[in-house]
Structure formats: C-alpha cells, structure tokens
Amino acid sequence: MYHSVCNLSDLKPNVPVTFEVDDRFVLVTLIDGEVYCIDDVCTHDGGTLGEGEVDGNCIACPRHGAKFDLRSGDALCMPATEPTCSHDVKVDSGTVLVQLRD
Amino acid sequence: MNAALIASESLGKFSREGFDAFVARRIDPIWLTEKRRSVWETFDAMDWPNPRDENWMRSDLRGFKLDKFTPVDETLTLEPTAAPVRLRDGVDMGGDISSVNGLVISQSLDPELAAKGVVFCSLSKACRDHAELVKKHLHSLIDSAADRFAALEAAMWSDGVFLYVPRNVVVEKPLHLHSAMVDGGIDLAHTLVVLEEGAQATVLTECSSEVEQGSGFHCGGVELILGARSNLRFVSLQDWGQKVWAFAHQKASVGQDATIQWTVAAMGSRFAQVDQQVELVAPGASSYVNGVMFTRDRQHLTYNTIQRHCSQHCTSDFLYKSVLQDRSRTVWRGMIKVDEGADKTDGYQRNDNLMLSDHARADSIPGLEIKADDVRCTHGSTSGRVDEELIFYAQTRGFTRHEAVLMIVTGFFQQIFDRITIESVREALGAAIARQVRQVD
C-alpha cells in the first residue's frame, strides 16, 4: 500500500527528509531527479540516521560514522555490515508516495 | 466505542488546562492536590528524554505523541472489559482489585486479613482513608524528576493500589491486581506496597488490553517498601496491546534481613521502557529478580535495571531472559551499584537472549559500579540464534518444527520457571509463551 508523504516540490536535491509512515520512520531523498526512500535506522546500533552528515549519495550515522547509500540502503562502511531497508517510491501528479517493504 | 473514550473527548489533553480540569474533577485531600501541582510544574518545565542520554539512546520516541491521548474522566462509571486475566486461574485469592483505564472498578479483601489490619484498596481511597500512611510513603522511592514520564505519573496518576501489611502479619493467600485498558485508552496507575517489620505477602499484578492489537498509553509507577525481616513475592505480567506505549518506573527498598522475589514478564506493548531498581538499604537484605521478555513483530522493549547495595552483607540476583521473534528488539541495561562501605556484597546479574529470527536484535549491556573493597560481583550475558541442529534432532524424533522450537524456548526459560515459586504464575507464563511462539523461518 502506497502512502502519500510529501510533494515532490518539497524535496531539495540530496537533502534527506524524515517522514513517519505507518508507525515507521523513513528518509526520503531526491537524488539526480529520482526519489528514494530508506529506513531511518542505522543497522549497527539501531540509532537514527536523519541528523547525519550527507555526502553525495550517502549519509553517515551521527553516532559511530557508519555510512549508508541513500538510494539502496546498502551499508558502505564499518561499523555497519547490514543494509538498512529500502522502500518503493513513486511520484504521482507531483505527490511522493512510499510503499514500505518488510 | 467505550463510554470512557467518548466522554473523554471533551476533557482536554495533558496541558495545564487539562491538568487543572483533572485536579478539579478529583476528590483528593489537600496535601495530595498540592503535591500534584508541584510535580506538574516540574513536568511542565522538563523536556522529553534526550536521545543522547544513555538510558534513552536506544529508544526512538519520535512516534510517541502525548497529545493523541486524553486524561481519563474519573467521574465516569466504567464497566469491566474483556481484557484477558491470566494469573487468577485456580488461585485462592486473599484480595482482588480490578481497574479499567487506570481507575479501580472493583476491590475486595478477605475480612480475616482486614481484621488483622491489612489494607488492600484503591490508592485514591487510601489517600483519603489512610492519609498519614500513604503520605509518608507515596513517591518516596521514585524521583518524580527522573524524567518527564515519572513527573507526569506523579502529577496525574488516576488511581492504583495500596497494600499495607502490619508488623508480623503473614498474608498467606496471594493478592491480585488486574489493570485493563480499552483500545485507545490510557493507564496512569501507581502501585504502593508497604510491608512492616516481619510482614509477608504475595502480590500478583497483571495488565492487558481489551483488544490484542489495541493502542494506548501506560505511564505507571511501582513502589515496594519492605521493612526489616519482611518478605514480599511480587509478580508483574505486562501484556498490553500491541500498539500501546508503556513507560514505568519501579523501585523497591529492602530493609534489614528482608527478602524480595520479584518476577517480571513482558510480552505486550509496541514500545515499553521500564526503569527497575532494587535498593538494599540495610544489612542482610536480599533481592531475587526474574525477568522474562518475549517479543514479536516490531516490538521494542527496554529494561534499565539497577541493583544497588547501600549496606553490608546484602545479596542481589537478577536474571533476565529474552526470546525475540520477527523484527522485534529488546534492550537490557543492568547495573550493579555498590556504595562505599557496603562490604560483603554478593551481587549477580545475567541476561540471556535467544533470537528466533535473523532480523531480531537484542542489546545487552551489563555494568558494575563498585565503591567498596570486599565484594563479590559477577555478571554475564549471552545472545544467540536458535540452534538449527537442535531443531533438526527434534524433527528426526517426530516433532514438528513448531513443536521443536516451542520445546527449545521452554527449555531456555526453564531456569526462570525454576526460580518462580508460585505455580499459577509458572503455568500462566508457560501458556502465554506457548501462545506466542511462531514458526521459525
């Protein structure tokens, strides 16, 4: 099921925004004209990524520096070894819609 | 919809206006109203817990919105709910109290116990009828400024239970408390137990929601005060609905040569954060704490435990075991604190975690803070996945995979069951665990 989270015009390139979708927090980011969504959760210690430093397509966890790809959720460096969950996104008439994966 | 919810729509939220309306509706003695007002100011001035705080850094509170909930209207007459009661089956009770949404709806006590001076009643009633006794002990252990939840509970607890057992009185039959919550309801209840010197009692407390997937907000407090040579067996079964936010501060103070056996079982709620402390305040005090956590889906349960040795020759033994399914998470932070001069301390803590899923997560953080010279303090922690070889072996003997997992989980908890001295509690926990075990992928 897709949930409306924001308007496409609300997103700035490479600036992740946190939204609550169905009791979960996710990061929605506009990168190279595409919208991506990953869990706002660091798989290293379960902390939140949202306030982390963004460098291009990746975000660093503010606690221990683990980096994740904002598009795929892949863990890019230690101490995280597991990807964080990525979710399906579509844009319909300027509205960004997210469908959660397990 | 339950009348409690419909009527509460107009009562205002947990704002200053809501608090004023709450106080005005109640028939509290003046000393209590003043106390509430004072703590409300503390609450109002505080921020929500800082995610950088060690106690809260593994807890994501962003989804919790206090404004979604409304203080309950204590002028309403609430009806019993269909929320399950598990600890009462087949037990000859000495007293029984039921509450809905944090308001006591029925209470009873064996007349023989009442004749011996035992008090077991609604806390609101006790504040009126036993004012001096309650005033002396209420919120004497829990720091109302510990965090915003402690302050909210101290300012706006709606009801709860007061148990008082006089000197050398032995209460043989267990006393039972059931707290129910309707879907979307709240429960701000306080439990206060006072055992005088040489007194003995067994208290079984449990909470559950009318709807298994029900939402709600629990913010509670438990204070257990044990005089010298007293003995308390205290059981707490938490089985709130799967969307309930639950916060609690629980503390026991154990006097000279007194013993507490405290069993905690946590199965329910979407998110629970419990601060549990036992203070051994005089020589020879002992505490034995058993904790069982069984989680599923995306539940997140946090227990921060402190066993504090303030005096010499005291014993504390904490054993917490968790079984995690699906994408659930548990956090256990255990600390043994030994004060200066508290020699001949014997402190032990252990936390074992069994993961039934690749996606579950258990954080286990035992700790020691010792300021005395002559002590024995040990702690341990284990975490691991369920052993596929064990499952395979059981399957070769004719068990299904589900039966095999249930057997392994039961065996994992057996150490705790062996430490629980009340048969009905063992049976209720076993049944609750069996009900929750799902297929392991």
Q: How does pLDDT run across B88-136, given as a tens digit for each residue?
A: 988 899 999 999 999 999 999 999 999 999 999 999 999 999 999 999 9
Chain segment A8-17, per-residue pLDDT in tens: 999 999 999 9
DSSP A13: B
Please name which of B154, B163, B96 lies closest in space to residue B125, comparing C-alpha atoms: B163
**Which amino acid makes up residue B401?**
R
Chain segment B405-421, per-residue pLDDT in tens: 999 999 999 999 999 98
Work out the pLDDT band at B440, boundaries 50, 70, 90: low
pLDDT at residue B1, as a whole number: 37
Q: How many CB atoms lie within 10 A of CB B346?
A: 15
Q: How many CB atoms lie within 10 A of CB B257?
A: 18
Interchain CB contacts (distance < 8 Å): A and B: 23
- CATH classification of the domain holding A30: 2.102.10.10
Q: What is the mean pLDDT of residues B195-222?
A: 97
Please name which of B124, B108, B240 lies closest in space to residue B185, comparing C-alpha atoms: B240
pLDDT at residue B5, as a whole number: 41
Please name which of B205, B153, B201 lies closest in space to residue B179, comparing C-alpha atoms: B205
Contact across the interface for B270 and A20, Cβ inside 8 Å: no
Look at the pTM and tell me if it is higher than 0.85.
yes
Query: Is the pLDDT score of B435 beyond 50?
Result: yes
Range of the domain at A6: 2-99
Work out the pLDDT band at B12, boundaries 50, 70, 90: low
B94, two tokens: 């000495």
pLDDT at residue B409, as a whole number: 94
Query: Is the pLDDT score of B3 beyond 60?
Result: no
Distance CA B339, CA B329 (A): 32
Contact across the interface for B361 and A23, Cβ inside 8 Å: no
Total domains, chain A: 1
B318 near B291, Cβ under 8 Å? Answer: yes
Host H or E run for residue A72 = none
pLDDT at residue B77, as a whole number: 81
Nearest to B63 among A20, A46, A102 (CB): A20
Distance CA B393, CA B381 (A): 26
Query: Is the pLDDT score of B11 beyond 60?
Result: no
Judging contacts by C-beta atoms under 8 Å, the chain B residues touching residue A85 are: none
Contact across the interface for B329 and A23, Cβ inside 8 Å: no
Nearest to A46 among B63, B270, B329 (CB): B329
- Which chain B residue shows the shortest CA-CA distance from A40? B60
Please name which of B188, B217, B190, B194 lies closest in space to residue B205, comparing C-alpha atoms: B190
Distance CA B227, CA B137 (A): 12
Work out the pLDDT band at B73, boundaries 50, 70, 90: confident
Q: What is the mean pLDDT of residues B51-59?
A: 90
Distance CA B212, CA B240 (A): 8
Chain segment B224-236, per-residue pLDDT in tens: 999 999 999 999 9
Contact across the interface for A47 and B57, Cβ inside 8 Å: yes
pLDDT at residue B7, as a whole number: 41
Q: How many CB atoms lie within 10 A of CB B358?
A: 9
Chain segment B229-266, per-residue pLDDT in tens: 999 999 999 999 999 999 999 999 999 999 999 999 99
A70 near A54, Cβ under 8 Å? Answer: yes
B321, two tokens: 């075991």
Q: What is the mean pLDDT of residues B383-394?
A: 94
pLDDT at residue A46, as a whole number: 87
Instruction: Tell me if chain A has a CB within 8 Å of the CB of B426.
Output: no
Q: What is the mean pLDDT of residues A40-64?
A: 93
Contact across the interface for A25 and B361, Cβ inside 8 Å: no
Q: How far is CA B252 from CA A55, B277, B278, B287, B417, in A?
A: 50, 6, 5, 9, 22
How close B24 comes to chain A (CA, Å)? 35
Helix axes B16-25, B148-156, angle to 10 degrees: 30
Say which range, A89-93, B55-59, B126-130, B375-379, has the weakest mean pLDDT.
B55-59
Query: Is the pLDDT score of B171 beyond 90?
Result: yes
pLDDT at residue B4, as a whole number: 42
pLDDT at residue B244, as a whole number: 98
Alpha-carbon torsion A7, A8, A12, A14, what sign? Answer: positive
B382, two tokens: 């284990």
Which residues in chain B (40-99) have CB-CB distances under 8 A to chain A?
Answer: 51, 57-58, 60, 62-63
Q: Which of A43, A51, A100, A102 has the highest number of chain B CBs within 10 A, making it the mutation to test binding with B?
A: A102
Q: What is the mean pLDDT of residues A34-54?
A: 93
Mean pLDDT of chain B: 94
Longest dimension (CA), chain B: 69
Strands B185-187 and B215-226: parallel
How close B322 comes to chain A (CA, Å)? 18
Judging contacts by C-beta atoms under 8 Å, the chain B residues touching residue A23 are: 63, 243, 270, 298
Instruction: Tell me if chain A has a CB within 8 Å of the CB of B329.
Output: yes
